[in-house]
C-alpha cells in the first residue's frame, strides 16, 4: 500500500478504491502546534485540488486540498477533541479523512516518498 504525496504537503494512502488522507510530518512541523481541525463531511465530493479541510495552528490557518477527486466516506472524529494528534502522529492516527477515489489515474501525478523527500529538501 504505497503512500503518495502532493506539493501542498498532503499524503494519501490507498487501499482498494479508498484513500486515507492527512498532512505530512513536514507540514505539521511547519504549522507548529495544531489547535483546530475541520474535517470534511461524509458524502461530500471534491475535485482534485479543492479546499477540503481546514487546519489551524497557533501561527496560521491553512486549507488542506483534496489530493485526488472523490467522495468522502469518513472524517477522523478524533481530531475535533484532540487536534494535537496531528502533531503527534501526522502520518498515522492524525489522518484527516477517507476518500473514495473517482479516478485512480490521478494518483499517477503525485509524488512517491523519495520524490517528496527531495521536494522538501529543496524548500
Partner 1 sequence: MAMNSSGRRTAPVSASNDETHTVSGSRGLLQREDLIFEFGSTKETGVDLPEPGGKPDRLGGVSRSRDVELPGLSEPETVRHYVRLSQRNYAIDLGLFPLGSCTMKHNPRLNERMARLPGFADVHPMQPQSTAQGALELIDQLASWLTTLTGMPAVAMSPKAGAHGELCGMLAIRKALEARGELDTRRRVLVPASAHGTNPATAIQCGFTVDEIGADARGRVDMAELREKLTDGADVAGIMLTNPNTCGLFETDIREIADLIHDAGGYFYCDGANFNAIMGRVRPGDLGIDAMHINLHKTFSTPHGGGGPGSGPTVLSEALAPFTPVPFIVRDEDGTFHLVEEDREEAEQSFGRMTAFHGQMGMFVRALSYMLSHGADGLKQAAEDAVLNANYIQARLKSVMTPAFDGYCMHEALFSDAFAADDIETIDIAKALIDEGYHPMTMYFPLVVHGAMLIEPTETESKAELDRFCEALESVAQRAASGDPSMKAAPMLAPIRRLDETRAARKPILKWTPPEPEAIAAE
Nearer to partner 1, 1 or 58 (CB): 58
Interacting stretch for partner 1, rule CB under 8 A, among 14-22, 57-65, 66-74, 107-115?
Answer: 57-65
88 counts as binding partner 1 under rule CB under 8 A: yes
Give the C-alpha distances (Å, rounded to integers) separating 81 from 23, 43, 86, 120: 18, 22, 12, 30
80 counts as binding partner 1 under rule CB under 8 A: no
Reading the block at residue 123, the C-alpha cell is 524548500
Q: From residue 11 to residue 50, what is the string marking binding to partner 1 with x (rule CB under 8 A)?
A: --------------x--xx--xx-xx--------------
At a CB cut-off of 8 Å and minimum separation 6, what does 66 contact?
A: 21, 46, 47, 48, 49, 50, 52, 99
Burial of 77 (0-12, 13-18, 19+ CB in 10 A): exposed
Give residue for cell 494518483: 107
Interacting stretch for partner 1, rule CB under 8 A, among 15-23, 53-61, 66-74, 110-118?
Answer: 53-61
Nearer to partner 1, 15 or 81 (CB): 81
Nearer to partner 1, 21 or 28 (CB): 28
Residue count of the chain: 123
Binding site for partner 1 (CB under 8 A): 25, 28-29, 32-33, 35-36, 56, 58-60, 83-84, 87-90
Amino acid at each position: 500500500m504505497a503512500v503518495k504525496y502532493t506539493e501542498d504537503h498532503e499524503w494519501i494512502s490507498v487501499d482498494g478504491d479508498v484513500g486515507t488522507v492527512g498532512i505530512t510530518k513536514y507540514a505539521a512541523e511547519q504549522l507548529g502546534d495544531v489547535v483546530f481541525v475541520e474535517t470534511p463531511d461524509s458524502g461530500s465530493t471534491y475535485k482534485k485540488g479543492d479546499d477540503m479541510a481546514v487546519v489551524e495552528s497557533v501561527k496560521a490557518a491553512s486549507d488542506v486540498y483534496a489530493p485526488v477527486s472523490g467522495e468522502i466516506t469518513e472524517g477522523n472524529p478524533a481530531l475535533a477533541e484532540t487536534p494535537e494528534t496531528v502533531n503527534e502522529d501526522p502520518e498515522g492516527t492524525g489522518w484527516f479523512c477517507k476518500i473514495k477515489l473517482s479516478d485512480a489515474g490521478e494518483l499517477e501525478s503525485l509524488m512517491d516518498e523519495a520524490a517528496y523527500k527531495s521536494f522538501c529538501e529543496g524548500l
